[in-house]
């Protein structure tokens, strides 16, 4: 069941009966069909996003020169690998144990846990990235997570967010049939206005908010279509593409405009001692 805040329009799911640790298991990144996540193969499904990630890092570099970066909800560390190749000292965390283990196998530094169990020192990072993170976070942890991120950033440090946008034309047009309304995977939903309010309330200055278009692999798209519409056609198409990876990894940009990029700066000017 989904609820909407009457004041700001924030939408959230009732998470009382959702065990997120059980949901984000060893099959989340590498399985299609019922009961699993969106990814057929996370590493390959994320590859089409590499140019977008590099552009985002270039944007961050324009406003912050420091190179210590923390990636929230890092999965197997795919983005961390890109950040490291751009000169960052990047690490991350994820509640999915198998994802953290896969990251280690790939030489990427990802801790198993969350913002509160990984025990990062205050003021440790120049940049925190939260790409496809907040929509997976229980609503009761949103505020404290943003506060924790603010504490982990150095003064004037940067928080970069990519998340779904409930005020987009695509989301408003589809209403309750919007494909991103996907509990228990997606459970918290912002728009540009209430995201800004939440960040500013927690000592961030919002520098930029804009629509961002994502690039998907064909196999990822068909798996999303199956999870959205539950048509056997999409599941069979996904299975076919798994067996024909060259075709399945064909990628293209989906210009539906239902994701937003938010860049915010830690408003604190007090240096950590």
Of 174, 176, 206, 211, nearest in space to 191 by CA = 211
- Spell out the domains of the chain, with CATH numbers in brackets: 20-266 (3.40.50.150)
Residue 107 has pLDDT above 80, yes or no: yes
Contact 196, 206 (CB under 8 A): yes
Helix axes 50-63, 78-85, angle to 10 degrees: 50
Tell me how far apart the alpha carbons of residues 240 and 262 are, in angstroms, rounded to a whole number. 37
pLDDT at 159: 99
Task: Convert the pLDDT of each residue in 130-171 to its tens digit.
Answer: 999 999 999 999 999 999 999 999 999 999 999 999 999 999
Of 47, 49, 29, nearest in space to 38 by CA = 29
pLDDT confidence of 273, banded at 50, 70, 90?
very low
What pTM did the predictor assign?
0.93
pLDDT exceeding 90 applies to what percent of the chain?
79
């Amino acid at each position: 069941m989904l609820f909407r805040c009457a004041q700001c329009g924030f939408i959230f799911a009732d998470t009382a009966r959702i065990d997120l640790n059980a949901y984000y298991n060893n099959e989340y990144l590498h399985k299609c069909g019922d009961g699993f996540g969106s990814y057929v193969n996370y590493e390959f499904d994320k590859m089409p996003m590499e140019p977008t990630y590099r552009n985002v890092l270039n944007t961050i570099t324009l406003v912050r020169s420091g190179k210590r970066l923390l990636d929230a909800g890092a999965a197997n560390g795919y983005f961390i690998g890109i950040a490291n190749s751009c000169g960052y000292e990047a690490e991350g965390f994820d509640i999915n144990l198998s994802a953290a283990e896969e990251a280690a196998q790939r030489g990427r530094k990802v801790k198993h846990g969350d913002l509160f169990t990984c025990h990062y020192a205050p003021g440790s990072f120049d940049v925190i990235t939260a790409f496809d993170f907040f929509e997976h976070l229980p609503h009761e942890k949103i505020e404290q997570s943003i506060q924790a991120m603010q504490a982990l950033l150095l003064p004037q440090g940067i928080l970069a967010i990519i998340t779904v946008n409930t005020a987009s034309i695509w989301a408003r047009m589809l209403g309750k049939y919007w494909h991103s309304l996907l509990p228990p995977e997606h459970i918290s939903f912002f728009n540009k206005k209430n995201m800004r309010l939440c960040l500013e309330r927690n000592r961030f200055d919002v520098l930029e908010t804009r629509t961002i278009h994502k690039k998907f692999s064909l196999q990822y798209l068909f798996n999303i279509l199956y999870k959205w519409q539950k048509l056997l056609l999409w599941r069979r198409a996904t299975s076919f593409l798994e067996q024909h990876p060259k075709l399945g990894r064909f990628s293209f940009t989906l210009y539906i405009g239902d994701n937003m990029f938010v860049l915010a700066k830690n408003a604190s000017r007090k240096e950590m001692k």
